[in-house]
Structure 1
Amino acid sequence: MNRFQASAIHLGISLVVAALVGCLIYFVWYPHPYFQVAGGSNLMLLIMGVDIVIGPLLTLVVYKAGKKSLRFDLACIGVMQAAAFVYGLSVIAQARPVFIVARLDRFIPVYANDLDDADLAQAKQPEFATRSWTGPRLVGAKSPTDAKEKNSLLFSGLAGKDLEKFPKYYVPYAEVAEAMLAKARPLVDLAAKSPADKALVDRYVAASGQSIDRFAYLPLHGRTEEYTMVLSRADKQPLDALAVDPW
């Protein structure tokens, strides 16, 4: 076997592993539409770069049939690749969205590393007290009515830790659905913003098979960009995210 064959075999194994992990990330941890909203593309590039490029490339460099230290060299490459892969995967796992919080007039993704264990322990319902491993849970958030809690939350928000990062204020989405829809705007207003936005909205509506007046929208905060969350007027549920700035 020459170095090109050895590198090709290593690449094939790496591609299989990358495909399996990609399915876990795309379909379980970051289900549609949150892969794009949470910046999953950049994270995937990180792990794919480590798994697919570095290992096979190093094998191509060091492999030489009959080389005395070949097994040791390949073992070192395997260990380094595995360590880098595990690190990259842990970064992606910590950055996965665990809640989509409906708050006031927008939807805010909350990621695993946004939440403290102590805050999770104060959640009023068991499903709000854990970080989901099977995709984000849709919840609502209600501001406290107690004056002392309001002041504490105000100062916490100024420090960067706002309402959506406190599971004790989470409620089932059904409790805020009506209020969210009341603050939503007609989807036709989004289509009127620009020709590009109209084209995207028109494609979405055409694919749905419904009329545009059956939909409304609210802002959805992405990790690096703003998105639009489309709501059904019929059941008040969020349906999809469009790569359109809602503001």
Structure 2
Amino acid sequence: MHREKDKRSVIRAVSWHFSLSLVIAVITAGVTFGLWFPYPYRELAGGGHLFWLIVGVDVVCGPLLTAVVFNSRKPLRELMLDLGCIGLIQLGALTYGLYSLWHTRPIYLAFEVDRFQVVTYADIKKDDLKPESERLHRLPWAGVRLIGTRTPANGAEMMESLDLSLRGFSPAFRPDWWQDYEYSIDRVKARAHAVADLKKKRPDAEKMINDKIAQAGIPEVDMVWLPVTSFRSLEWVVVLSRKTGQTIVFLPVDGF
């Protein structure tokens, strides 16, 4: 009789813990995928993998630990101490996970030479940030903005830029090279390719490309595309308006 009662108490405690953890996971998902990693950046910047790791710790491990330590026969103080420790472990894991998501969140989609580069907070050369004087240096806390990068001012700067790129700091990662996207649109149009070229390059993806373009509701002749790169993927392209250079849709296709 006592054993059956203890079992029901454990199930009740685990259910409450699981429900609370699930609510926290839903809120975290809203912040992660609604603000920091909107589609397609959850794939391009890896936010999805990190989120599921956080959920695994919060929603699964927490209630399991409660099932292990919960015993209604324990003194109330001891039981509260055990559950408090589990809560602190979960809170610490959640805080670290959110901190990691914040630092890997995409901030800008920057045009650079012949492609678009996803710029995350972790990518940026922080020493060059001047938020007090440069508007683009005041980094957005949510969403991804479209920007451009300027061209080298002279030969010496071009050589310096090449050296920095070889060390992992491409122009898109250097705040002093950022500029408003409108100043790069002419270069974007000059570098962009016809959608027909993408279908010839990747015939296995032609149906998916046609479906996505049809959903956009814009004639194919009015669209162009460029590759999109990030620290974890080279296999995406962005389809743009031929007239305005603005983004229309992203496609999971290798553009190189």
TM-score, normalised with respect to structure 1: 0.93
Who is 2:45 aligned against? 38
CA apart distance, 1:123: 9.0
Who is 1:222 aligned against? 230
Who is 1:136 aligned against? 144
Deviations 1:137-184 (A, max 9, x none): 211001321333333222222211121111111111011112112211
Deviations 1:54-88 (A, max 9, x none): 11111111111121221111000000000011001
Q: 1:165 to 1:123 in 2, by over 3 A?
A: farther
Who is 1:63 aligned against? 70
2:23 aligned residue (16, 19, 36) = 16
Whole-Å separation in 1 of the counterparts to 2:218 and 2:35: 28
Q: Is the 8 A contact 1:205 1:212 kept in 2?
A: yes
Structure 1, unpaired ranges of 5+: none
Identify which range, 214-223 or 140-149, moves more after superposition: 140-149
Give the AA of the match of 1:245.
D
Deviations 1:200-238 (A, max 9, x none): 101111212222212111000133222111111132112
Instruction: Please tell me the root mean square deviation across aligned C-alpha atoms, in Å.
Output: 1.7
Give the AA of the match of 1:202.
N
Taking only the aligned residue pairs, the percentage that are identical comes to 32
Whole-Å separation in 2 of the counterparts to 1:216 and 1:123: 37
CA apart distance, 1:124: 6.7
Who is 1:4 aligned against? 11
Residue 118 of structure 2 aligns to a residue whose secondary structure is: strand
Aligned length: 246
Q: How does 1:1-247 map to 2 (within 5 A)?
A: 2-68=9-75, 69-121=78-130, 125-126=134-135, 128-226=136-234, 227-247=236-256
Give the AA of the match of 2:116.
F
Q: Is the 8 A contact 2:150 2:178 kept in 1?
A: yes
Q: 1:64 to 1:45 in 2, by over 3 A?
A: same
Larger radius of gyration: 2
CA apart distance, 1:198: 0.5
CA apart distance, 1:195: 4.3
Whole-Å separation in 2 of the counterparts to 1:64 and 1:44: 31
Deviations 1:87-126 (A, max 9, x none): 0111111000111110111000111112243211189731
Q: 1:53 to 1:4 in 2, by over 3 A?
A: same
Give the AA of the match of 1:94.
H
Q: Is the 8 A contact 2:216 2:249 kept in 1?
A: no
Structure 2, unpaired ranges of 5+: 1-7
Q: 1:212 to 1:45 in 2, by over 3 A?
A: same
Whole-Å separation in 1 of the counterparts to 2:39 and 2:85: 37
